[in-house]
């Protein structure tokens, strides 16, 4: 069993090299009802700029969270704002220690990436999770659709683009991620995702 898991993780880590610049795994971690959180996502792929995205989230109801995000890109050419996003996330009630859970994430974004057309975009991402002892497995299959601009498309969220007969299409990719976290005094969590 250990060899099979090691083989699977090594194959997936090879695919992760082509991962998109923005990486986020949606789990069952939501802001509590009438509470807020502030997260900062920092992502750097092998190529492309450093991406930083502050995210303010508020628990609007039990198991419901609303978030506002402001993505930025930093490179040797300077820094740029990459638009803004609003996100609504729901996770069904479940045992928080073990077993299966599900939810959904919906996002509306205005994308302003440098060198790309600006457009409104919508994403719909199911959240499928399973906790077994110390392991936490999560899948986020989903799709996105440009609502405006010249290149309206349906594709897997965050998938890299591939040129095809003069049109851009998104190619779905598989990514594995391990997350190492440490709880600091005052309840702060410091975490860093690492490729498996």
pLDDT value, residue 8: 44
Domain count of the fold of the chain: 1
pLDDT tens digits for 36-57? Answer: 999 998 888 788 889 999 999 9
* pLDDT grade for 12, boundaries at 50, 70 and 90: very low
Mean pLDDT of the chain: 76
The average pLDDT across 178-189 equals 56
Tell me if 10 is assigned to some domain: no
Tell me if 12 is assigned to some domain: no
**C-alpha separations of 61 from 12, 29, 32, 65, 124 in Å:** 37, 14, 8, 7, 20
pLDDT tens digits for 63-84? Answer: 999 999 999 999 988 999 999 9
pLDDT tens digits for 105-157? Answer: 999 999 888 777 888 999 999 999 999 988 899 999 888 898 987 655 555 55
Query: Which has the higher per-residue pLDDT, 65 or 23?
Result: 65
Query: Which has the higher per-residue pLDDT, 195 or 153?
Result: 153
Identify the domain containing residue 77 by its residue range: 20-172
Tell me if 2 is assigned to some domain: no
Tell me if 194 is assigned to some domain: no
Is a pLDDT exceeding 70 seen at residue 163? Answer: no
Tell me if 154 is assigned to some domain: yes
Tell me if 43 is assigned to some domain: yes
């Amino acid at each position: 069993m250990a060899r099979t898991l090691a083989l699977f993780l090594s194959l997936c880590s090879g695919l992760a090299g082509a991962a998109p610049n923005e990486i986020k795994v949606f789990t069952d971690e939501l802001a509590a009802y009438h509470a807020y959180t502030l997260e900062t996502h920092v992502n750097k792929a092998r190529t492309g700029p450093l991406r930083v995205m502050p995210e303010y989230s508020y628990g609007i109801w039990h198991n419901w969270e609303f978030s506002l995000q402001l993505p930025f890109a930093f490179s040797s050419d300077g820094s740029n704002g990459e638009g803004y996003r609003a996100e609504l996330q729901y996770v069904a009630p479940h045992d928080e220690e073990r077993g299966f859970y599900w939810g959904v994430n919906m996002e509306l974004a205005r994308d302003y990436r440098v060198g790309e057309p600006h457009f409104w975009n919508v994403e719909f991402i199911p959240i499928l999770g399973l906790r077994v002892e110390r392991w936490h497995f999560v899948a986020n299959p989903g799709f996105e659709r440009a609502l405006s601009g010249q290149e309206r498309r349906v594709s897997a969220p965050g998938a890299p683009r591939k040129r095809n007969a003069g049109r851009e299409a998104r190619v779905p990719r598989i990514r594995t991620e391990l997350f190492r976290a440490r709880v600091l005094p005052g309840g702060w969590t410091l975490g860093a995702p690492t490729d498996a």
